[in-house]
Structure 1
Amino acid sequence: MASQYSGGPERRTRTKAMVENWLDERQQMLVLYCKLAGIESFDPDKPEKQLLQDFCQMLVDYVAFGHFEVFDRISSGDERRGRVIKVAQAAYPKIAEVTETVVEFNDKYDFNDHPQPLDSLTRDLSRLGEDLASRIELEDRVVQALLQ
Structure 2
Amino acid sequence: MASDFNAGSDRRGRSREKLATLVKTRTETLSLYTELANQRPFEADEITRDALQEFCQALIDYAASAHFQLYRFISDKLERRVPVLEVADKIYPRIVQTTDLILRFNDKYEDVDIVNGDAEVLTLLDSDLSMLGETLAERIQLEDQVIGAITGQMH
Gaps of 5+ in 1: 1-5
CA RMSD of aligned residues (A): 1.8
Task: Write the deviation string for residues 25-71 of structure 1: whole angstroms up to 9, x where unpaired.
Answer: 00000000111111222234321111111100111110111112311
Shift of 1:8: 2.1
1:40-55, aligned counterparts within 5 Å? 40-55=40-55
User: Match for residue 17 of structure 1?
Assistant: 17
Give unpaired runs (5+ residues) of structure 2: 1-5
1:137 maps to 141
Q: Which has the higher helix share?
A: 2
Are residues 113 and 68 of structure 1, via their aligned partners in 2, closer, same or farther at CA, if it must alter by over 3 Å?
farther
Identity %: 41
Aligned match for 1:122, one of 105, 126, 130: 126
Q: Which has the larger radius of gyration?
A: 2
**Normalised by the size of structure 1, how large is the TM-score?**
0.90
Q: SS of 1:40's equivalent?
A: coil
CA distance in 2, matches of 1:121, 1:56: 12
TM-score normalised by length of structure 2: 0.86
Q: How far did residue 111 of structure 1 move?
A: 1.9
Answer yes or no: is 1:32 the counterpart of 2:32: yes
